[in-house]
Structure 1
Amino acid sequence: MIQNAFRAATLGCALAMSGVLATDATAMEPVTAELRPGWRLPNGDHMAALHLTLAPGWKTYWRAPGDAGIPPVFDWSASDNVADVAALWPTPHVFRQSGARSVGYKEELVLPLRVAATGGPVTLEANMMIGVCSDICVPQELHVRATLPDSSSVDPVIAAALAEAPFTASEANVGKVQCSISPAKGGMVLRTEIDMPSAGGQEELVVEAGQPEIWASEPKTRREGGKLVSKTKLMHMEGKPFALDRSKLRITVLGAQHAVDIHGCSS
């Protein structure tokens, strides 16, 4: 099942990927994975983390990996006494290779996981498919498992990763967020205007439609005074017509000084 989900998730990335897709990653060992068991929260939930260590020169991808990236797929169904697992992604980096953009991490990724427990001993277990890339791109199927302790002792590595999360719109003093749509061949063009202070340097936008079947291209972005203006093309992965729910849109601004996570926009 996870292999089918991974193939579906990579459909929009396959043509944009640079390098050669390798099928035998065993000898290279580009990534290793473990679960950091973390600590119990006051409400009974648990804070853990997936810790990926990448070999020199390799990178892996954020939840929205860009045109040249491979989206990760996680299956937590083998866990015990777990109702939900929410990934709290640290701010990613932008990579460019052969004219294509990808969004992700190099060296390592500590991905905090907020685990909603149902009572009793908690065992967190995951099968996952991720992409890692260097001169070649390698799909990796990984398995991790850990029993989560009934302890309030904070793991400083996980705490540091939590501190690397993007600011909320409120924290970054974001004002009005407006968006409009216009028809385009095979889909639609989304135009956004975000009233916000600069995040520093050349700001990059990542647009997520909030609907997994809708693909968003790399936005063309510019500054107009205090506003960040962008245009991106949205298309259905199977070429079908679709309606856009503005409340589900998620826009991440990646700047040299900080990142900002914005949810939804008005017409």
Structure 2
Amino acid sequence: MTRKLSFALAAACLVALPFAAMPFAALARDTSQDQVLKASVLDGWTTAQGTRMAALRLDLAPGWKTYWRSPGSAGIPPQFDWSGSENLKSVRIHWPAPSVFHTNGMQSIGYKEQLVLPVELIPKDPTRPIRLEVSLDMGICRDICLPAEVELNAGLMMPGKRDPLIDAALAQQPKTGKEAGLSSITCAVEPISDGLRLTATIAVPVQGKAETVAIETADQTIWVSQAVSSRQGKVLTAVADLVPTTGQPFALDRSGVTVTVISDSGAVELRGCPGG
């Protein structure tokens, strides 16, 4: 497990809510991954484009959750290693719209009790089947947090068949800006002592109750703070700090910025954020 994941896990565990009748250490010791997490591969089907639409299925015990690709201040980012696979050129993950959780005043973003994560597999040779091997490091949390290490493999013979669970997860993907009625999006950037402050102005109708904005950059080494958002009519504004490992202002690749608006009704994903 990487240092980054271990540090995030430790931080999340520090804010976990211990049971009154049992010390935290005892809880962690008495709970194992196998008790609260089951993982499997859904084989899926070969698409008309020659890719393979499969999925990772994660079933969690009641009350347990895991995290989205950008997990928030109290979450643990999942990390994937596909290098053991055969005839696999690349992987495109189709994230379903996540939910937002609040614990002790801290925000996390993820999925509760079950996640079907569609993965579109691009083969090196479309005429041959893919042998999938994936290692997944992830965090799973309820009143405590545990590191989970999942090893999955599957031989994906052609052509496969459609799976209603994968279809349902694909239908839960975030809407595009056009689908959400987006009029415009702009990002203003100003330097701060250790990086940049980004203000996203999003002209889009209300998407649902309790809108939360998540901001990501293409460079995953850049730390992004929890966005502070507000709405005035059809205009949603979100402000977040971007801090690189250098701790200095930097040139931001605006085309690599992703802004996601999450609500109880789903999510909207906006890629690219030009200047005003």
Deviating runs (4+, > 6 A) in structure 1?
none
Distance 1:24 1:143 in 2: 22
SS class of match (1:170): helix
* 1:37 to 2:33 alignment: no
SS class of match (2:4): helix
Q: 2:161 aligns with which of 153, 156, 160?
A: 153
Distance 1:27 1:215 in 2: 29
- The structure-2 alpha-carbon separation of the partners of 1:78 and 1:8, relative to structure 1 and needing over 3 Å to count, comes to same
Per the alignment, residue 102 of structure 1 pairs with 108
Larger displacement relative to structure 2 (54-63 or 22-31): 22-31
Q: 1:223 aligns with which of 231, 234, 241?
A: 231
Per the alignment, residue 143 of structure 2 pairs with 135
SS class of match (1:167): coil
* 1:121 to 2:129 alignment: yes
CA contact (8 A) 1:13 1:67 kept: no
Per the alignment, residue 243 of structure 2 pairs with 235
CA contact (8 A) 2:33 2:146 kept: no
Per the alignment, residue 180 of structure 2 pairs with 172
Deviation string, structure 1 residues 15-35 (Cα, Å, up to 9, x no partner): 455226847753762211100
Distance 2:63 2:216 in 1: 28
TM-score, scaled relative to structure 2? 0.89
Deviation string, structure 1 residues 45-80 (Cα, Å, up to 9, x no partner): 100000000011210000000000000000001111
* 1:266 to 2:271 alignment: no
TM-score, scaled relative to structure 1? 0.92
Q: 1:53 aligns with which of 53, 59, 69?
A: 59
Structure 2 gaps of 5+ residues are 17-23
| Higher fraction of helix | 2
CA contact (8 A) 2:230 2:237 kept: yes
CA contact (8 A) 2:12 2:76 kept: no
CA contact (8 A) 2:59 2:113 kept: yes
Amino acid at match of 1:174: L
Percent identity (aligned): 40
Root-mean-square deviation (CA, aligned residues, Å) is 1.9
Per the alignment, residue 200 of structure 1 pairs with 208
How many residues end up aligned between the 2 structures? 263
Distance 1:10 1:265 in 2: 32
Larger displacement relative to structure 2 (220-229 or 154-163): 220-229
1:183 Cα offset (Å)? 2.3
- The structure-2 alpha-carbon separation of the partners of 1:149 and 1:44, relative to structure 1 and needing over 3 Å to count, comes to same
Distance 2:271 2:141 in 1: 30
* 1:111 to 2:117 alignment: yes
Structure 1 gaps of 5+ residues are none
